[in-house]
Amino acid sequence: MSAGWWRLRWLFNRRVGRALLWAFGLLILAIVANVIGIRLAGSIAGWQRWMADHAGVFFVWRVALYAGTVWGWLWMRRRLRAREPEGGTQQRLLRVEIAAVLAVIALEASQFMQAK
């Protein structure tokens, strides 16, 4: 076996495997939901029209998801800061928080631009 294979050992970690399995499951679930929606709406155009008509509901759903994520993040952040009080942890958390806020802004901006 080549030495390069051992560098990928992290890929076979149980935790990474579970995360990949969850991501794959969510992808399959999204595909199935879209296929069912297209069949119920009669066509792709009908499905897109239905989604456009219900854009407000989807926005409320996303806001609820963001609120739940923020609540979970604050809970996790409080526990992490209690466990690791040094300054490096605070800087890492701040970088992750800034990146997350920028990602949400980019996602919502792209949704807003598509709606116009």
pLDDT at 14: 79
Which secondary-structure segment (H or E) carries 46?
helix 44-53
- DSSP states of 4-55 as a string? HHHHGGGGG-HHHHHHHHHHHHHHHHHHHHHHHHHHHHSSHHHHHHHHHHTH
pLDDT in tens, 39-74: 999 999 999 999 989 988 998 999 999 999 999 999
pLDDT in tens, 62-111: 999 999 999 999 999 999 888 888 878 888 889 999 999 999 999 999 98
**What is the value of pTM for the model shown?**
0.67
